[in-house]
Structure 1
Amino acid sequence: MFVIRTKNLQKIFNKGKKNEFSAIKGINLSIDEGEFVAITGSSGCGKSTLLNLISTIDSPTEGKIYIYDKEISNMSDDEKAILRRKIFGFVFQQFNLINSLTVLENITMPMRLEGLNSWKSEERAKFLINQVGLEGKGNNKISEISGGQMQRVAIARALANNPKIILADEPTGNLDSKSGMQIMEILKDLNKSGITLIIVTHDLNIANTAERIIKIKDGEIVES
């Protein structure tokens, strides 16, 4: 079963202006349920733009995107936001955590936004803290932990609402090689549990851990 499929996907920035730029050019892509895919290519090739499109964060200029066979172009922004919360978990290079909150509070936030009560959200957060190897760190402020630990918190937060798909944009980009490989082991274990994993990376060592590599060059797929 395809969880994501695109048809003639195109993204043009500043369309009709002198600085018009085609970032994505007619991409046709299918990703199976439970697959581990790495999207790779040089800086500026369009890989992060593609991730933003398939996650509904951004909208294509032309083409269609299907998520679990549902075509999303006619969805309202509110409907797309609901879809993102229910289907996707996001992991970013910059972590995007709230430094003034504790590890536990950062992880419970998505669940609280979905209306889960404090007891249930804290119990799940504690489970996730253990799952990503941060036992005993729940009450630490984000500013008190290392970069590798921050990315573990970000993964736990991404798992908070039981996503079917994890999208990770350069998840090891701000980490040393040892911490980066530890993060990839966590992500691979999640994939083995049935979660579809899509990562964007310029690092071929990271990309080679995936089941399939999709190489982007100048906004087009050149290898898949």
Structure 2
Amino acid sequence: MQQQERRDQRYSHPLKSDHVALGCALNKYERTFQVENPTQSYDLILKVSYEALAKELQALPAATDTEDASSLLDKESSAFGASIGTWPPFPDTVEAMRKLKQRYKLVPLSNVDRASFQKTLHGPLGGVHKGLKDGEAFFDAVYTAQDVGSYKPDPRNFEYLLSHLKSDFGAAKDDVLHVAQSLFHDHEPAKKFGLQSVWISRGEGRDGMGGNVAEYLGGDNAKVAFGWRFNTLGELAEAIERESEGGV
């Protein structure tokens, strides 16, 4: 009877029917572990976050005759952490980045580790290399959390960004346009550093990767100060093309 009750609890947690809320719960664990272990690579941050959330939801894998639940959870969480390089981009991302590269230097400030970023770049984002010469890099530089030793929104990541843009490209702060979805990880620190920014407001109106929209926009007490807002990266690229061609 008790075993049946535990099984029912595993499948009845409210987060399991709300993917956005589930993502928020995972993000909270991620942020906790990123602050506690800022030099730990992102794949390992995901691993321990997965394990913590599985325990909270009482969603541990069922033990088998040959393997206990702890061992199975370790395998599941390791696979989740290793999956970063397989995550698909949004449908507009690849083409939008190719358009933007024609006009600007592109430098990601990423919260993942170097290996995972390269897997993504040469896997799901592989289409960005179309038309490039053999060996030609798509991005002008890539700055990861692993390079910095901390995770956004830590000020050190933005200090690293600005100092390296200056030393690598001679770019001043006023030359930088920070384009991002996350209000928490990107736009709040961008405001503190006085960076011009564009909000890509995917999934606007709900908690998620972007943060609580109402809380961050907040009128006179707004935590963010982006200058432009688009629903997708594709819309931004199209707007830039129209402006360059003299359109509206």
* TM-score bracket, shorter-length normalisation: 0.3 to 0.5
Higher share of residues assigned strand: 1
TM-score with structure 2 setting the length: 0.30
Rg comparison, structure with higher value:
2
Higher share of residues assigned helix: 2
Higher relative contact order (CA 8 A, sep 6+): 1
TM-score with structure 1 setting the length: 0.32
